[in-house]
Amino acid sequence: MGDIRLDKYLADMGIGSRSEVKAFIRKGAVTVNENVVRSPDCKIAPESDEVCYNHKRVNYLKYEYYMFHKPSGCVSATVDQRHKTVLDYIDTRRKDLFPVGRLDCDTEGLLPITNDGELAHALLSPRRHVKKTYYARVRGVVTDADVEAFLRGLDIGDEKAALPAELTVLSSGDISEITVTLTEGRYHQVKRMFEAVGKDVVYLKRISMGGVCLDEALRPGSYRRLTEEELAKLRKQE
């Protein structure tokens, strides 16, 4: 990790906004290797320098990784004029976090959040075919013929047919419950695949991505850090 400015170091770690931390530094509330430093542009080597704010050690995390349970009504973006964005739910001052991929505004479920662009890029690359599993409630009886059609790959109106997807019927009736596993991530893909077999998705939730399952203890709108094990699973997709 390269050197970074002291004010950025502290702001990234949530001590305050960039202007707030500059004021803390000038007041003498910050030490670097036990010496008070009053210059916000002092260069810090995160691996070796010891930075303290109000006598408490502040360690630098270059990357942060969260599992977010996206609620309906939230957009998979970092800014939006009309809707809440994922960042409205994450209690951090870090400015560089973003969602890994997109879920529709009305879709719930697993959405990783990070500032690690390389990992995000790998997880979203169409060439990697990272598996994503969704639970859905669908209006109408989902049949074995639908399961076969999903397995063959469906024409959903794009230049290329959707790749084969594994559809499992959990219950079939006026409203059927299913899970479906995709290896690509096209716009409205699950909804469009069901439209192609004449059915409507009435509820959609992503329950896993790249082998990492949504933690059911997380209520919609809440989040936690990814565990090392979960992160290792995501990195395996790189």
DSSP assignment of 174-218 equals SEEEEEEEESS--TTHHHHHHHHTT-EEEEEEEEEETTEEP-TTS
Tokens representing 168 are: 């499992």
CA dihedral 100, 101, 105, 110 (to 10 degrees): -50
Q: Give the interface segment with ligand URA, choosing from 55-63, 90-98, 99-107, 218-226 (CB under 6 A).
A: 99-107
Least separation, in Å, of the C-beta of 69 and ligand URA?
Answer: 14
Interface pick for ligand URA out of 20, 49, 80, 104 (rule CB under 6 A): 104
Q: Would you say 6 or 154 has its CB closer to ligand URA? A: 154
Measured in degrees and rounded to the nearest 5, phi and psi for residue 37 equal -120, 130
Mark the segment that binds ligand URA (CB under 6 A) among 26-34, 39-47, 160-168, 183-191. 183-191
- 107 sits near ligand URA (criterion: CB under 6 A): yes
Measured from the CB atom, the residue of 191 and 199 that comes closer to ligand URA is 191
- Specify the residue, 49 or 104, whose C-beta has the smaller distance to ligand URA: 104
Residue 209 burial class via C-beta count within 10 angstroms: exposed 0-12, middle 13-18, buried 19 and up:
buried
Of these residues, 104, 144, 200, 215, which one is catalytic? Answer: 104
Among 190, 209, 226, 231, which residue sits at the site for ligand URA (rule: CB under 6 A)?
Answer: 190
Q: Which stretch binds ligand URA (CB under 6 A): 85-93, 101-109, 166-174, 226-234?
A: 101-109
Interface region with ligand URA, contact rule CB under 6 A, candidates 43-51, 91-99, 155-163, 186-194: 186-194
22 binds ligand URA (CB under 6 A): no
User: What is the residue whose two structure tokens read 């716009």?
Assistant: 187
What six digits make up the tokens of 189? 């893909």
Instruction: Note whether 188 binds ligand URA by CB under 6 A.
Output: yes
Q: Which residues face 2 on adjacent strands?
A: none
Three-class SS of residue 173?
Answer: coil
Instruction: Identify whether 7 is a catalytic site residue.
Output: no
Beta-carbon contacts of residue 194 (< 8 Å; ≥ 6 apart): 136, 138, 200, 201
Footprint of ligand URA (CB under 6 A): 103-104, 107, 188-191, 204
